[in-house]
Chain A
């Protein structure tokens, strides 16, 4: 038996200061419990709730295992407090057919450190030319479809995918970046890019795609999810779509909540990602939108790249940064979310968007033991990461909030006893 003792626990009755007992993969008691011979996780001063859920990670397997693989990414996730992940399909080969989705899920099960759900590509090989094997992917358990990394730029193609999937319990997610407006861009188009002489991606490259996609949602009724929303204009579009009652959700990354485009003045590839870091005004608006629920979820867009791939000039560097191990702390540091809202944005709502039955649930007797223990006031400075790659924009930056322990299916995957 494992006993999580003395924490502030998110239960179906709200937040209660109490203990949680875990045995054989399930929560067996919530209340004052005699530790007896149990393995005790001291949760005094901590928030206890359902394990975090990340809608957006790149685990690089199959095809680029020198950057990360499903096991190493799972370990990084556990140390960041996550118990469930949605793995993006831009692997080599892309996850565009049932057996490929099955491989990712199986590797996740073998690693056994967190639940790894494959996302499926919308188009074959993510090329935007023909639809992927959507039915096969669905049968293999895929509930989130995306060409992430690239945009489904052809509105006719996206319409067809939406029509095909509209009747099913799943969501189409878009990496919104108009290939014309964004062509050749490496950072946010604005004052900093102009001064550095680096070609920019305008905010409009994201907003025009989101606006167009929302029109397709009105037409088809398909559930639609905006990946890594990064601009004030995107937030306004999502707000309006939700007011209209459209089946729309959105995520934001911790780095977009915390950092702005002035970081690129360092010309360090650890600040290169798509969408790029935007303005301070965008950062402020994203924080507001996450707090008020216009943006539903925090997702990391964890995108590992090896050191030697980063040892190049900014414009030549690959896209993306890691985020699993700093997500909780960066989000808390940027937004100061309370316990209830934090678990909604980082566990309950993303679990609902991903259609995860066993994650994001309040802790109740008989429920699955997928649990995280968070010290909301601990400060730390990230330095080395469990992830196989180290390309973090948060290295050396003081963050508030740390993960004390993670429990996945009743086993401690991170923490004092792991």
Chain B
């Protein structure tokens, strides 16, 4: 594995290797001094062309926990506003000594393009509505820690699937690891053509919620046109929001996940977001370990498969 650009095509053994590594790094994070010298002297560059807090912080925390240095780039404070191209930005960071690049961008394929231009490992930190592979890893990791395995789990991913890179990545990771995935959204927020996708689709939450082990809620991606997929926010809340009535339909051992940022009162009722059956903060914590696993695999030559 040279880059991590997509979950598509990543095999079960490769995923399990990364999850096993994540377990080890989670132990590191629980130590008194939550740091190992593995990547001492190496530099991780984060290039985030989209507003993001948690993903960037999570990557930077992961890099520092492995003792790597961090070069942090965001267009608000940079020459992108002066017309610099993505390619020139990438080559500039490489010239400054980056050994690996994490790229987030509002357009599909941005990380993929960077991987062609800059001769170094690239991690896709989210590209448009396409892929967000480390999110899929941390979500699979969270489910494996909670349930022991993903085989046989029934996962419903609910919300703005059409514009969601999280949904596209998670459904592939989950199904590769043996879970059954149902995408739940109004027809206008489902992808137009899911022929051949390893999942079912449903247009009503009430019909499927009682069968699920995992309810994975998504935010409406208003920046990608998600709000045009329904007529009003109250209507969306009424049909797809996780409220008290729907919570009571859940199986007793079902859990609730969300990639963040959450919109309390829309996809999830405000108090349910804090319920012990949510794994939302576990996802955040596990995300650091999962990203340490990815950095470790891509940056230590002897560990690379």
Give chain A's interface residues, CB within 8 Å of chain B: 184, 189-191, 193-200, 267, 308, 311-316
Contact = CB atoms under 8 A, between A and B. Distances in A.
User: Nearest 4 A-B pairs (CB), nearest first?
Assistant: A197-B129, A267-B109, A313-B107, A194-B191
B165 interface: yes
A197 B108 contact: yes
A197 B165 contact: yes
A198 B192 contact: no
A194 B107 contact: no
Interface string B179-192: 00000000000011
A67 to B, nearest CB: 16
B194 interface: yes
Contact of A311 (B87, B164, B168, B197): B87
A314 B117 contact: no
Contacts of A199: 225
Interface in B186-225: 191-197, 225
Contacts of B87: 311-312
A196 B130 contact: yes
A301 to B, nearest CB: 23
B265 interface: no
Contacts of A311: 85-87, 113, 117
B168 A195 contact: yes
A190 B130 CA distance: 14
Contact of A313 (B109, B129, B168, B195): B109
Contact of B163 (A193, A197, A308, A312): A197
6 contacts: A191-B196, A195-B197, A197-B191, A198-B130, A308-B85, A313-B108
A312 B112 CA distance: 11
A314 B108 contact: yes
A313 B192 contact: no
B127 to A, nearest CB: 8
A321 B207 CA distance: 48
Contact of B85 (A184, A194, A200, A312): A312
Interface in B224-267: 225
Contacts of B108: 196-198, 267, 313-315
A328 to B, nearest CB: 30
B128 interface: yes
A267 B108 CA distance: 8
Contacts of A312: 85-87, 107, 113
B291 interface: no
A381 to B, nearest CB: 20
B101 interface: no
B64 interface: no
B128 A191 contact: no
B193 A313 contact: no
A312 B110 CA distance: 7
Given A184-B225, A197-B168, A315 B192 contact: no
A191 B195 contact: yes
B105 interface: yes
Given A184-B225, A191-B195, A311-B86, A267 B113 contact: yes
B111 to A, nearest CB: 9
B112 A191 contact: no
Contact of A267 (B8, B112, B117, B193): B112
A326 B113 CA distance: 25
A313 B194 contact: no
Contacts of A194: 191-194
Given A197-B163, A312-B85, 8 more contacts: A190-B192, A193-B193, A195-B168, A196-B109, A197-B191, A267-B108, A313-B107, A313-B109
B19 to A, nearest CB: 24
B129 A191 contact: no
B128 A197 contact: yes
Given A184-B225, A197-B163, A198-B128, A313 B86 contact: yes
Nearest to B163: A197
Q: Which of B108, B131, B195 has the most CB of A within 10 A?
A: B108
Contacts of B225: 184, 199
A195 B196 CA distance: 10
A26 B85 CA distance: 51
Nearest to A198: B108
